[in-house]
Structure 1
Amino acid sequence: MAAEENQTCFEGRTLQNFQVYLEQSGDHEASLRCVHNILPGEFKRIGAGKSHLDVLGVGSGGGEIDAPMLTLLQSTFPGVPITADIVEGSSQLTDNFKGINNSERHSVIALVAKTTNIQKIPFTWYTMHSEDYERPVKEKGDMKTFDFIHMIQMIYFVDNLASTIKFYHSLLKNNGRLMIIVEADNSGWDVLWKTYTKELCVGAITECRSSGEVISCLKSQGLKYEEHVIPNTFDITECFNPKSQTGQCLLNFFTVKDNFYQSFTPEIRAGMLDLLRNECSSKKDGRVFFNNNVSCILVHA
């Protein structure tokens, strides 16, 4: 569950927790499996016969997933102009992403060093919440539309799931696709947050959402979609060592808190740790592996 754009997300201490999570979890690698296994065929269908292609990334973070997707789209249609609009609430992550296509040098540019060809793509940057992007677009009335819109691990942070999906779906061009990547139903995230809703849904995230909630929303709006589940697990054994800095960062990120041990009563902490060990994970060779399955949902225009 990657944080997207709330004021508590991806600045300062929370950014540190997120970076530790990315290093440990394979979350980006799971999303990239979607890119490599699912998107080649989708891009061929999306772009067939079009003279230009427009992409919108909502909650794009530092661009680690956007860059491979744009590279794939460009290689699929090498002679077709592409534009990319990026909506991301973290100024620090946006600056990191901008390092891809200008002369600045950021520490994360090595992550996308092999994608320098996207420097040819004109970017438009919106450093704001997704709802803050939505409001002026609706007021202006002259809405730019897109062939491909992606919302990767950010749907947890929007105020209204149904209206958000309806709005971004309305921005799709003919034969376009909206791709939503979200924690899978019954994943470790889903179990933790639905068990401790009262304690966890009090800040940046106000309600529990996994692929189940997203699909229910799509069905209620009569939208056509396809779901692809991407299996993923990672070792969270360090979470059960109170002296482990890595474990503390993971626990902070799991619960969207700055300090797990100070944020909950001893009883709640013990219950969460027991749940993480026994209901959210599997065990192998004395290690604890968190169920980090994600769902890639492709919504048709």
Structure 2
Amino acid sequence: MAAEAKQSSYDGSHVENFEFYLQCSGEHESILHFLMKHLPEEFERIGADKSGLAVLGVGSGGGEVDVQMLSLMQSTLSALPITADIVEGSTELVAKFKGLVTKTDHLQKIPFTWHTMLSEEYMQKTKGRGDVKTFDFIHMIQMLYYVDDLTETIKFYHSLLNKNGRLMIIIESANSGWDTLWRTFSKELCNEILPVYRSSSDVLASLKSLGLKYEEHFIPNTFDITECFDPNSKTGQHLISFMTGRENFYQSFTPRVRADILNVLRSKCSTEKEGKVSFNSEMRCVFVYA
């Protein structure tokens, strides 16, 4: 989602805000519902004629989605050993991910290599080595908003794919509520953490410029933002502050800008029915072929 903090600063209050958003939005549930339906077939295709599988997660956060994908890979391809490399810039989220692995017995059979660093740092470190590890499945879920060079990032990670491998990208859809909000108020919302907003249209443009083969899928999701329009609601204040990437929405903008943002949220980013305002947070999943 657009309001995530850059990996290097994703600790403390940022983690708290992110987890609050996840509770309200149902985003992980929507992603997992999609992945449980589509990934088994992808895993079977990736694992054909292989003696083992190497997985790379980039910007994996606290690992809630990763552990489900790895568990699914184990059950789908039970005869193949799996290794997992994780690139994540937040020490707090890496610790949370490690805790999940510790609590999940079957995942303890998987050797994990932890890279507590930004994607750019991992790219630089990898390019400096002569012996580069390659992977069968690389996933980048809701993290391409913050890389320095979108096309170069996709090109680099695609170059790490083994034969029949897949690079999976999940990002907010073009014309979703996030896309409308952040492009409409790019001057007010974009900052040193997120200087330019990106959505699925930017990812697809990069893939086409690189001449890469891919397939895309929609991941529908909406969530209730009704309380965002009540300045006395603590839930609404937390949620809209996260959505706009600010610690405190009502203190960060002038009354005029606040009013304009709330108007666009209600009229162009959401649907309203029986007093309930539902924000369109549709996502795209893109499978890029090796």
The two structures have a TM-score, normalised by structure 2, of 0.97
1:52-72 CA distances to partner (integer Å, 9 max, x unpaired)? Answer: 100000011111100111011
Task: Encode CA deviations 1:37-94: one digit per residue, 9 max, x unaligned.
Answer: 1111000000011001000000111111001110111111112110000011111111
1:244 is matched with 233
Q: Report the counterpart of residue 87 of structure 1 in structure 2.
A: 87
Give the percent of matched residue pairs that are identical in Structure 1 and Structure 2: 59
The 5 Å alignment of 1:62-101 reads 62-101=62-101
Per-residue CA deviations over 1:230-274 (Å, capped at 9, x if unaligned) read: 111110001111111211111121111111112111111111111
Q: Unpaired segments of 5 or more residues in structure 1?
A: 103-112
Alignment CA distance shift 1:201-1:141 (3 Å):
farther
- Cα distance in 1 for partners of 2:6, 2:131 equals 25
Distance in 2 (alpha carbons) for counterparts of 1:63 and 1:74: 16
Does residue 166 (structure 1) correspond to residue 155 (structure 2)? The answer is yes
Q: 1:144 to 1:41 in 2, by over 3 A?
A: same
Which whole-Å CA distance do the structure 2 matches of 1:204 and 1:263 have between them? 16
- Provide the TM-score with structure 1 as the length reference: 0.93
Report the Cα offset of residue 100 of structure 1.
2.5
Per the TM alignment, residue 142 of structure 1 is displaced from its structure 2 partner at its CA by 1.7
Q: CA RMSD in A?
A: 1.2
How many Å separate the matches in 1 of 2:259 and 2:209? Answer: 38
Q: Give how far 1:150 is off.
A: 0.3
Match of 1:151 among 121, 136, 140: 140
Q: Is contact 1:5–1:128 with CA below 8 Å preserved after alignment?
A: no
Contact 1:5/1:90 (8 A) holds in 2 = no
Aligned residues: 289
**CA distance in structure 1 between the aligned counterparts of 2:105 and 2:271, rounded to whole angstroms:** 40
Q: 1:203 Cα shift?
A: 2.6
Are residues 203 and 6 of structure 1, via their aligned partners in 2, closer, same or farther at CA, if it must alter by over 3 Å? farther
CA distance, structure 1, for counterparts of residue 248 and residue 192 of structure 2: 14
Cα displacement (A) at 1:5: 4.1
The CA distance in 1 between the partners of 2:70 and 2:54, in whole Å, is 10
1:105 corresponds to which residue?
none
Measured in 2, the distance between the counterparts of 1:212 and 1:81 equals 36
Instruction: List, as ranges, runs of 4+ consecutive aligned residues in structure 1 with deviation greater than 2 Å.
Output: 2-8
